[in-house]
Amino acid sequence: MGQQTIKMISANDLLVETLHLKNNGYRLVAITCTNKNGMELSYSFDKDYDLLNLRFVTDTEEEISSVSIIYPFSFLYENEIKELFGVNIKDISIDFNNTLYKIPMKTPFNRKEGDE
């Protein structure tokens, strides 16, 4: 299998780093969020079967820029993360405003005490 690399970045550098990868022929293949010690976002890119992951940790307060300005099809990944985790992703090309999955509870992957 190809290489797997994780590159830690800051949330502010996301668009610059993503644009750099796009210009170098990388394909966005997934965006993943893990809620453990903060919201850990991993943006996975493929080139020649090698997987490069841009990663940063954030919280639900911080505004995260949508990469849909660079990869327009990222809107599905970003809507999913916004709805399931409550990550504050701004300017998604098609923003479903937390109705992608139409689930009855808010942010199931980020439940707080007292949430219904």
Partner 1 sequence: MGKRTVIPFGPQHPVLPEPIHLDLVLEDEIVVEAIPRIGYIHRGLEKLVEKKDFQQYTYVAERICGICSFMHGMGYCMTIESIMEVKIPERAEFLRTIWAELSRMHSHLLWMGLLADAFGFESLFMQSWRLREQILDIFEETTGGRVIFSVCDIGGVRRDINSETLNKIVGVLDGLEKEFKEMTEVFINDTSVKARTKGVGVLSKQAASDLGAVGPMARASGVEMDMRTQGYSAYGQLKFEPIIEIAGDSYARTSVRIREIFQSIDLIKQCVTLIPEGDIKIKVSGNPNGEYFTRIEQPRGEVIYYGKANGTKFLDRLRVRTPTFANVPALLETLKGCALADVPILILTIDPCISCTER
With CB under 8 A, what is the number of residues at the site for partner 1?
A: 29
* 60: contact with partner 1 by CB under 8 A: no
Distance of CA 72 to the CA centre of its chain: 13
* 42: contact with partner 1 by CB under 8 A: yes
From candidates 7, 65, 108, 110, binder to partner 1 by CB under 8 A: 108
Tell me the torsion sign for CA atoms 100, 106, 107, 108: negative
Sequence letter at residue 57 = V
Q: What are phi and psi of 26, to 5 degrees?
A: -85, 150
Alpha carbon distance 54, 27 (integer Å):
13
From candidates 19, 32, 69, 110, binder to partner 1 by CB under 8 A: 32
* 112: contact with partner 1 by CB under 8 A: no
Tell me which residues touch partner 1 (CB under 8 A): 1-2, 4, 27-30, 32, 34-36, 42, 44, 49, 51, 53, 71-73, 76, 94, 96, 99-103, 108-109
